[in-house]
Amino acid sequence: MKNRFFLLFLTVLLTNILSAQKANNFFTTLFNKGFFNGSVVISKSGKTILSSNYGFSNIEKEEKITDQSQFPIASITKTFTSTAILQLQQKGKLNINEPVQKYLPDLPYPNITIKQLLSNISGLAQEYILFDTIIKEQPEKIISNKDIIPTFIRFKTPLSFPSGSKWEYNNINFCLAALIIEKISGISYAEYLDKNIFKPAKMKNSFVPVDRKIKSKNQVELYTYPNFYSTELANTKTVKDSYLISEKSNFYGNGGIVSTALDLQKYQKALFSYQILGKKELEEALTATKLNDGKTVSYTIDGKKISYGLGWGMYIDESEGKIVFHDGLITGLTSILLHNITKDQSVILLSNSSSPIFPISNAVLNLINDKPYTIPVQDLSRIYGSFVENGNKEKASELIQDYLKDSSNYEASERDLNRLGYQFLRLQKCDNALHVFNSTSLIFPTSWNVFDSYGEALHQCGRNEEALKMYKRSIELNPENENGKQMLLKIEGILIKK
């Protein structure tokens, strides 16, 4: 009997060692290819098989990432906000089915519940459009959670959709949830998390910053591509954020926590062993949300069908176990905490260089389960876009032709190429934009959306006869394309007047 247990132990040990070696080789390859710069913690059957760091916390100074390197974890924070709310429910301080108005009486929407906040079905307006007027009126003002409800009241902001009728990812939901935590607990959101989550989970390197623009001593610098056709990373300090509200706000609850990969592992272990939240409450958080019509929330990320609970995403396909996660994204930072509850496996990734975090984490899951996996390849749109921007359109066209013959060396997505074309269009670089949309139509010849976008670009660039052909092709591919039909009538009217 002893020999049998010893052999079993030895088999598990050797399997974990091999998995660790494969995982380390995988991330070393990603780093060398420029696809990952950050911290990694991977566990299998509850045992850590890889805890390592790759690259630099400060590229300019060549300071390496260490176990103490702290990253903003972005929207992984939402799982902490959900946990805090459910802790208060567990203590009898609230019920998530109660209206938000009970705790935030000034909120001008009486029918929204706390649960609808945490499941992203409230219908509240997005922060990207909510504060435009205030930013213009008070350009020096830093907008925070306390400004949300007064802004709703002032502008009589309507709901985007009836509460409970639709799922829409929304940071405002979790900002309001943070205000509820403060109202009930009588302490700040930061103090609540420190007392009820960070300290119980022994997360010594985690905190909620008072001002997220002020970095801690060990906090990493963030790097991003300045635009869709850049091939060189730049420090985010030198890059203007795409969304003005990001520069003008200091929200919390939706994001903002600063942590390490090892601290997130402590959080994951404490949470899923019911040390900081009861089993009943955790199961409620990990139950797929149903809309008013009874349909389960469903959307797709990187080919995976996803549902959403209370601050957690969940893979709908449970053939490999119940997999739950939350990822995070801010300029220069991508993150993910992914946990397979059934197999007790986890993947925690923090990258300060805009890595493709979701496909990487899925590849890691396959790797540690001895299934086929692929290493990400170069982004076609970025390489192609750099050729176009630098005036080498002939080389750009050759790249597209090479891709059409053999697509294994590059990753091409309709979304990325479309975004590249529209960026050139916004910059009034018509020749570049039209080159991109033409190439996109070659790669995706059956996409009505591609031809709709191509038509729009031609119209904006004053080439209406060609735009007409593209809109007609778009409608052929999708007879329900109402925008295309309206644009056809508009352009035909313009051509008749000529």
Q: What tens digit of pLDDT does each residue of 348-358 get?
A: 999 999 898 99
How high is the pLDDT of residue 209? 97
Q: Per mean pLDDT, which range of 81-90, 147-156, 212-221, 238-247 is the poorest?
A: 238-247
| The domain boundary residue, chosen from 368, 398, 432 | 368
Q: Which amino acid is at 495?
A: L
Asked, for residue 57, whether it belongs to a domain, the answer is no
Assess whether pLDDT exceeds 90 at residue 80: yes
Same structural domain, 349 and 396:
no
| The domain boundary residue, chosen from 368, 388, 411 | 368
Output the six-digit token pair for 348. 């925690």
Using an 8 Å Cβ cutoff, are 352 and 337 in contact? no
Q: Domain range for residue 447?
A: 378-497
Same structural domain, 417 and 363:
no
Q: Provide the pLDDT confidence category of residue 10 given band limits of 50, 70 and 90.
A: very low
Distance CA 96, CA 342 (A): 27
Same structural domain, 360 and 470:
no
Asked, for residue 12, whether it belongs to a domain, the answer is no
Asked, for residue 62, whether it belongs to a domain, the answer is no
Q: Provide the pLDDT confidence category of residue 244 given band limits of 50, 70 and 90.
A: confident
The DSSP line for 189-240 is: HHHHHIIIIITTTT-TT-B--SSTTSPPTTBPP-EE-SSTT--S-EEGGGS-
How high is the pLDDT of residue 13? 46
| The domain boundary residue, chosen from 321, 350, 368 | 368
Same structural domain, 362 and 385:
no
How high is the pLDDT of residue 472? 95
Q: Say which CATH number the domain at 164 has.
A: 3.40.710.10
Same structural domain, 396 and 322:
no
Distance CA 56, CA 37 (A): 7
Q: How many domains does the chain have?
A: 2
Asked, for residue 112, whether it belongs to a domain, the answer is yes
Asked, for residue 50, whether it belongs to a domain, the answer is no
Of residues 374 and 185, the one with the higher pLDDT is 185
Same structural domain, 363 and 382:
no
Q: What is the pLDDT of residues 308-340, one digit of tens each?
A: 999 999 999 999 999 999 999 999 999 999 999
Q: What is the pLDDT of residues 188-225, one digit of tens each?
A: 999 999 999 999 999 999 999 999 989 999 999 999 99
Strands, E, within 302-433: which ranges? 304-308, 313-315, 323-330, 333-340, 345-351, 378-379, 410-411
Same structural domain, 159 and 188:
yes
User: 197 has which bridge partners?
Assistant: none
How high is the pLDDT of residue 4? 57
Assess whether pLDDT exceeds 60 at residue 441: yes
Q: What is the mean pLDDT of the segment spanning 58-87?
A: 97
Same structural domain, 397 and 292:
no
Output the six-digit token pair for 470. 């593209």
Tell me which residue of 257, 250, 277 sits closest to 205, measured CA to CA: 257
Assess whether pLDDT exceeds 50 at residue 12: no
Q: Say which CATH number the domain at 458 has.
A: 1.25.40.10
Asked, for residue 37, whether it belongs to a domain, the answer is no
- High-pLDDT (> 90) share of the chain, %: 88
Same structural domain, 222 and 258:
yes
Same structural domain, 166 and 270:
yes
Same structural domain, 183 and 291:
yes
Same structural domain, 362 and 391:
no
Q: What is the pTM of this model?
A: 0.89
Asked, for residue 23, whether it belongs to a domain, the answer is no
Assess whether pLDDT exceeds 70 at residue 438: yes
